[in-house]
Amino acid sequence: MNATKKKTGYRALVLAVLVATMAALVVARAPQATAANSQNSHYREFAQGAYITYSNSTCPWDDVVTDTVCEEFTVWYFRSGFSLAGGSLGRATQPFVASYVHVRFLEHPDGEAEDLGIEFGETTDVVGSYDKTHLTSAHMDGATIELNEVDLESGQVTPTGETVTLGPFTWTAATSTYRSGNDGPDLDELMPPNVRDRCHTTVSQAHQKLTRAYVTGTVDGVPISTYYGESADTTELPGAPEDAHGAIFNSWFRLVDVAHGGKNCL
């Protein structure tokens, strides 16, 4: 992983979903090379839950004058699922998980950033609540999560032998519900609604709902209020308070790829 733009909060959620979506599309397309380009792909995914992204207070986000090592943390309480061939998404049966992601990166004065390290973990051994209809609140009890380290060159995941202890987390909505389709943050660039070339026509749909939320919680006994909270793209969410650093979301995505066939098409 080389230099990349820093991704915060809601962008992290969007990109996580998109990575899964595009990976699934590649898997779905794979048989076409041996089936005379005759197979089409239908991918669906949903994501429901809440998250908070925060960072170490020493990272000068607004005024980076020299290369600076920064750390970013995200705590999730969510469930998701996907279907490749028209099967059930199983929303009601998918368990909620508590998830923790810790990223270290080198922030450059030009706004670029270079990943230095990634560790993460998740557990289904968590109890909580979630208002999927109005997105007014979410809560999870405490959980202990075993951590894994990602090799930045190979992508290999290795247990670190360490754990992180999340205390109870509570999300309380600070805004009304924002609704968007493919025109949500970043999706207009990364997931265009209609793409056509000589070999394929790809149509995507996104239905995104979220509220910005105030969040309380602890990580290894330290309140997240002692860290620097990151409110992602509040300028794109009119009326969102700057100190509402979390989000409660309910979204689903659909991607249909139709193969036209033809010479040298995959």
- At CA 184, angle to CA 94 and CA 134, rounded to 5? 50
With respect to residue 198, please indicate whether it lies within any of the assigned structural domains. Answer: yes
With respect to residue 209, please indicate whether it lies within any of the assigned structural domains. Answer: yes
Taking the C-alpha atoms of residue 236 and residue 14, their distance in angstroms, rounded to an integer, is 15
With respect to residue 140, please indicate whether it lies within any of the assigned structural domains. Answer: yes
**What confidence tier does 69 reach under pLDDT thresholds 50, 70, 90?**
confident
Can you give the residue range of the structural domain that contains 88? 3-259
H/E segment holding residue 29: helix 9-29
With respect to residue 18, please indicate whether it lies within any of the assigned structural domains. Answer: yes
Lowest mean pLDDT among 35-39, 136-140, 149-153: 35-39
Mean pLDDT of the chain, nearest integer: 78
| pLDDT higher than threshold 80 for residue 165 | yes
Taking the C-alpha atoms of residue 239 and residue 222, their distance in angstroms, rounded to an integer, is 29
| pLDDT higher than threshold 80 for residue 67 | yes
* Short-list 203, 195, 196, 214, CA closest to 253: 203
* Short-list 118, 114, 112, CA closest to 100: 118
| pLDDT higher than threshold 70 for residue 40 | yes
With respect to residue 250, please indicate whether it lies within any of the assigned structural domains. Answer: yes
Lowest mean pLDDT among 18-27, 33-42, 97-106: 18-27
8 contacts 232 by C-beta, under 8 angstroms:
yes
With respect to residue 265, please indicate whether it lies within any of the assigned structural domains. Answer: no
At 94-145, the pLDDT tens digits run: 999 999 999 998 888 887 888 899 999 999 999 999 999 999 999 999 999 9
At 213-234, the pLDDT tens digits run: 999 999 999 999 888 766 544 4
CB-based contacts of 56, cutoff 8 Å, min separation 6? 70, 71, 227, 228
With respect to residue 27, please indicate whether it lies within any of the assigned structural domains. Answer: yes
What pLDDT sits at residue 22?
Answer: 38
Residue % of the chain over a pLDDT of 90: 36
With respect to residue 78, please indicate whether it lies within any of the assigned structural domains. Answer: yes
Taking the C-alpha atoms of residue 23 and residue 154, their distance in angstroms, rounded to an integer, is 17
In total, how many domains does the chain have? 1
